Amino acid sequence: MDQEQIQINEAVEWFFFSGGPGAPRYGDDPTKHAVDHDSEAFVREVLQNANDQGLPNGDPVEVTFRFVTLTGDEKEEFLDGLGWDDRLGERMRAVADTHNGHRYERVVERVNDPDAELRLLVVEDRNTTGLTGSWDEDSNYAALVRDELYSSKQDDTAGGSYGLGKSVLWTFSGASTVVFNSHLTHSVREDDSPRLIARSKFPTHQLPEDDTTYQGAGWLCQPIETDDGPRPESFWGEHASRLAEQLHVERPAVSGTSAMVVEFQDPTRDERPEVEDLAQEFVDASVKYFWPAIYRGDLEITVETPDETLTADVESVPAIRPFVEAYDERTTDAQTLVDPGDVAGLDIPVKLPPRADGTETPDGSVRLSARLASPADNDAYLNNVALFRGAGMVVKYYDQSRVAYGDRNFFGVLAAGEARPEGTPSKSDREIDRFLRFAEPPEHDEWESTENLREQYQRGFRMALDDMFGTLRDGLRHLISKGSNGDSLSDNVLNRFPIHGSGNPRSTTSPADPAFEIDSSSRFNGDAWTISGRIKVLSEEFDGWSADISLTGIGEDGSRYDDIPIDYVEIEQSGVTVSYDDGCAHLVADEHVNEVSFSGRSHSDEAADLVHGDVGATQLEILAELQTPEEDQA
Amino acid sequence: MKGEVTLTDEQLNEYVEPMPGRPTADLDRIDSAVKQVLEEYPEYDTAIDGALAEEIHRGLDITRRTAGDPGLWHWLAVVRYPDLVRHRWEYRSEEAMREKFLGAGSDLYSNAIHRLWWIAELTSRGDDYSTTDAVFANQTMVNKVFDRWFARYQPAVRAMCDELADEPSRVIDETTRRFNHALTNVQLEGLSENEAREMIRQIVAESQ
């Protein structure tokens, strides 16, 4: 930005940089579009940020979500403190007139309607670092208040490494404005706490009777002059305290930050949910994703509404309890599951490539445990494996229902990195934690090949991940299987009841070594089936291979119907040709291709109706055939 | 199975045991009906089914629970009326014929006599066997409806038989197929007869 063109508007205490003529314009905050934005994602991102900023004193990070609703005089006083009449309101009206500004119009209406309430959400964390540092240095403060998509987290175990999570605060503010009140620790200005500043992220805009073009970002602050030009500066001490009180963002004098989202709203919903309902959703989402951290005593979460205070403990969400038990008993020696509620576990070996600078990484393992489901369990996440590492946040619930059969349903846990051991993590645990952190995309909802991994590690990171997941699936099958005692009474009894299928007893002999590893999924999306999958050749030597992909309707009694025609199948790898015959897709791969991922779609059936037999149970079938060198000679 | 060997009572006795619950039957009535059928109908005539179903159903005073015991049907087919079974069903393979004599239990379509009783049981309304007759008059209906799982649920069977009575084979085929597919989404036993009827009507309309 051209320093000469910076303008300050000291009078209103809202400071906006001016881009001047020819400066790039911002229609909207780009980070708003980067992650899913339901309230579950909000809770997840916000908690992850707080969790990452915990102080290394062994005490838990405490987070309180506090909903505040304002009407009447309280609302007036709040708006006064926010500088609404000191041109913030005028500015928001101007923003509302830009073509991206429709949402601001609704906020302006709400402010001006004496009967309408304003809804604030305060996210207060304690025993965290707080907003330390200054505008001009690489700091917590600068990362949150100044920067975009910039993370200051240096710690190898931190949950985030993109700086994207904090953007949800603005995304969920109808006014795109967030107020921060922080109590600092270990800082030269600790005695000056609290520290308060507000930041808005508007589109580029102009004010009436003013031909200046303002950049989107603005600060409610005390602007100061520096050698490099004017800068927004936070309020400190007594001044900050008074303003915090007026803005309902006051906090106890313990280290941490309170972030207040002005006019909280979920951008994905058109209705305005009751605060009580939102509070329950916050509890559910907190436990769903952070139960490992809560269970380990690293994180305490409460949600407050004007009427009640809810605590997010692992007991409060029934769907999560089986996972907690699987984690609690993960070090068990048991390798077989007999009765519902049993937990068995296995070590999954992990081999990491050397770091990019050539540093060798020690081999280690992650711990898989599974609990056999009982009919009494809440089955919302049945047959899923919760994946997490030291940060204590569940990265994802990994659907492994294909491994389950009969009544052998389960809840699985993969405790990786620093979450694996009960005591002090080993060197390899720490390295695996670091590796998996870099394997997370900005949304932190997957462990996969990423740009970050490529930067941090030498070749082989992708195979390390594939191998870990491959072994995980095999290990899970081993745990879920009934073991070698095939003559058990229950097997014999079960075979007498041919309830499903043709009634053949289950085979107890093990199948021949498979030539392929195949994963697939299909889903009906309203008018067509979307399919995806992965076919991997397990054999070392082959001359090429082919696969037929088809979709078949299935009746209630398992009878097979006509194929559902496949419209197209897409494959990104080269060396594979796709042809279609009678609604089936035929893949031919040459000898250089040992793995193919595909996605595709059936022809759409817009009349599809669930009770007319247009759409129902459907089987995605992949028949793969390997061509080996021996066959060529024969 | 082909009828080349005749088993004596002595050979059979060691395998025969009394039924629990002491069910009763008017076997004379069934005997005479069977005798009449053997005289009047040519071999392998599918019309035999319709001619016998009502008499067998009326002649056997049994509950559905008793009807679920395969032993009863094995006795009727193997001991009491083996000639009838062979008259109705041409010997095509050991496996197929074994099913006609020794099927039963959960598979209501297999045993030659079992299937007549069950289809009559599921389609009659009190003394009214008109639906039973209509079903047996149309072998496509017998095959497509009663060889499917939903055939065990009477409200669905009645609705299906009523709605398909006058439809051509193609529509019967398509409708039963689609209904079976729709039942992967809808809980069969949760449907009332009227709800099943409404579903079937709509499917018939789309199948024509």
Q: Please, which pLDDT band fits residue A630 given cuts at 50, 70 and 90?
A: low
ipTM above 0.85, yes or no: no
Burial of A236-265, coded b for 16+ CB within 10 Å and e otherwise, reads beeebbebbebbbbbbeeebbbbbbbbbbb
The closest alpha carbon to B181, from A565, A524, A613, A522, belongs to A613
- A507's CB contacts (< 8 A; 6+ apart) are none
- pLDDT of A507: 39
pLDDT for the residue A513: 66
Query: Which positions in chain A touch B152 (Cβ < 8 Å)?
Result: none
Distance of alpha carbon A554 from the chain centroid:
35
Strand partners, A385: A398, A412
**CA atoms of A77 and B178, how far apart (whole Å):** 65
Shortest CA gap A560–chain B (Å): 9
**Section A387-391 average pLDDT:** 94
Rounded to the nearest 5°, which phi and psi values hold at A529? -90, 135
Confirm if A516 and A536 have CB atoms less than 8 A apart.
yes
List of chain A residues whose C-beta atoms are within 8 Å of the C-beta of residue B178: 612-614
According to DSSP H, which parts of A296-387 are helical?
321-328
Give the count of alpha carbons within 13 A of A196, CB side only.
25
Nearest CA in chain A to B152: A557
Q: How confident is the model at residue B152 (pLDDT cuts 50, 70, 90)?
A: confident
Q: Do A616 and B181 touch (CB under 8 A)?
A: yes
CB A409 within 8 A of CB A450: no
B171 touches chain A (CB under 8 A): no
Structure tokens at A289: 């994703």
* Structure confidence at residue A489 (pLDDT): 38
Q: Cβ distance A344 to A336 under 8 Å?
A: yes
Residue A6 pLDDT exceeds 70:
no
CB atoms within 10 A of CB A178: 24
A556 and B180 within 8 Å at the Cβ level: the answer is: yes
pLDDT of residue A632: 47
- What does the pLDDT read at residue A259? 94
Q: Per-residue pLDDT tens for B48-93? A: 998 999 999 999 988 888 888 888 898 899 889 999 999 999 888 8
- By the 10 Å C-beta count (0-12 exposed, 13-18 middle, 19+ buried), A227 is classed as exposed
Which of helix, strand or coil describes residue A395? strand
Query: According to the model, what pLDDT value does residue A7 have?
Result: 39
Cβ neighbours of residue A277 closer than 8 Å, sequence gap 6 or more: none
What is the Cβ-side half-sphere exposure of residue A309, based on CA atoms within 13 angstroms? Answer: 4
pLDDT at A78: 94
Cα A370 to Cα A531: distance, rounded to the nearest angstrom? 28
Q: Is A109 exposed, middle or buried (0-12, 13-18, 19+ CB in 10 A)?
A: exposed
Phi and psi at residue B175, to the nearest 5°: -65, -45
Q: Which tokens in the block code for residue A265? A: 């709203």
Reduce the DSSP state of residue A37 to 3 states and report it. coil
The reply to whether residue B106 touches residue A553, judged by beta carbons under 8 angstroms, is: no
Nearest to A50, CA basis, from A403, A392, A356, A455: A392
A508-540 pLDDT per residue, tens: 333 456 788 888 888 888 888 999 999 998 887
Task: Report which of B139, B147, B202 is spatially closest to residue B175, judged by C-alpha positions.
Answer: B202
* Both structure tokens of A478: 């081993």
A119-143 average pLDDT score: 87
CA-nearest of A436, A426, A434 to A464 is A436
**Per-residue pLDDT, A495:** 45
Q: What is the mean pLDDT of residues A331-338?
A: 88
- pLDDT at residue number A153: 54
Average pLDDT over residues A164-188: 83
Confidence band for A588, pLDDT divided at 50, 70 and 90: very high
User: Comparing A262 with A143, which gets the higher pLDDT?
Assistant: A262
pLDDT in tens, A277-313: 999 999 999 999 999 999 999 999 999 999 999 999 9
How close, in Å, is residue A619 to chain B by CA atoms?
12
Radius of gyration of chain B (CA): 18
Query: Looking at chain A, how many residues does it have?
Result: 634
Calculate the average pLDDT of chain A.
Answer: 83
Q: Do B180 and A555 touch (CB under 8 A)?
A: yes
What's the rounded mean pLDDT across residues A307-320? 92
DSSP structural state of residue B108:
T
Distance between terminal CA atoms of chain A? 72
Q: Out of A203-212, A335-344, A620-629, B93-102, give the one with best mean pLDDT.
A: A335-344
Q: E strands, A52-140, where? A: 61-70, 118-126
All residues of chain B having their beta carbon less than 8 Å from the beta carbon of residue A612 are: 178, 182, 199, 202-203, 206
Please report which confidence band the pLDDT of residue A457 belongs to, taking 50, 70 and 90 as the band edges. Answer: very high
Are residues B186 and A611, on separate chains, in Cβ contact within 8 Å?
Answer: yes
Chain A residue with the nearest C-alpha to that of B176:
A613
Q: Is the pLDDT of residue A58 over 90?
A: no
Which residues from chain A sit within 8 angstroms of residue B206, using beta carbons?
A: 612
Rounded distance between C-alpha atoms, residue A519 and residue A521, angstroms = 7
Counting one residue from chain A and one from chain B, the pairs whose CB atoms sit within 8 A come to 58
pLDDT at A188: 55
Cis? peptide before A223, omega within 30° of 0: no
Query: What percentage of chain A has pLDDT greater than the value 90?
Result: 41
Average pLDDT of chain B is 87
pLDDT tens-digit series, residues A219-251: 998 888 888 888 888 899 888 999 999 999 999
**Higher pLDDT among residues B4 and A515, named by residue:** A515
Instruction: Please give the pLDDT value at position B129.
Output: 92
Query: b/e map of B38-50 (b: 16 or more CB within 10 Å)?
Result: eeebeeeeeebbb
Question: How far is it, in rounded angstroms, from Cα A384 to Cα A374?
Answer: 14
Give the count of beta carbons closer than 10 Å to the beta carbon of residue A617. Answer: 15
Measured from the Cβ of residue A616, the count of other Cβ atoms closer than 10 Å reads: 23
Q: Is the pLDDT of residue A156 over 60?
A: no
Instruction: Report CB contact under 8 Å: A616, B182.
Output: yes
Asked if B179 is an interface residue toward chain A (Cβ–Cβ < 8 A), one would say yes
Mean pLDDT of all residues in A384-408: 90
Helix (H) or strand (E) holding A43: helix A39-52
The mean per-residue pLDDT over the stretch A526-555 comes to 88
3-class DSSP assignment, residue A195: strand
**Closest among A597, A598, A566 to A581, alpha carbons compared:** A566
pLDDT at position A198 over 90:
yes
Chain A partners within 8 Å of B150 (Cβ): 556-557
Letter string b/e over residues A571-587, b meaning 16 or more CB atoms within 10 A of that residue's CB: beeeebebeeeebbbbb
Q: Name the pTM for this structure.
A: 0.58
Residues A542 and A628: their CA atoms lie apart, in Å, by 4
Distances in Å between the Cα of A228 and the Cα atoms of A8, A136, A368 are 14, 10, 55
Shortest Cα–Cα distance, A511 to chain B (Å): 28
Run of H or E including A455: helix A451-456
Of residues A7 and A434, more confidence is placed in A434
Name every residue whose Cβ is closer than 8 Å to that of residue B89 and which is 6 or more positions away in sequence: B44, B96, B97, B100, B112
Helices marked H in B41-111: 47-59, 64-67, 70-74, 82-88, 94-102
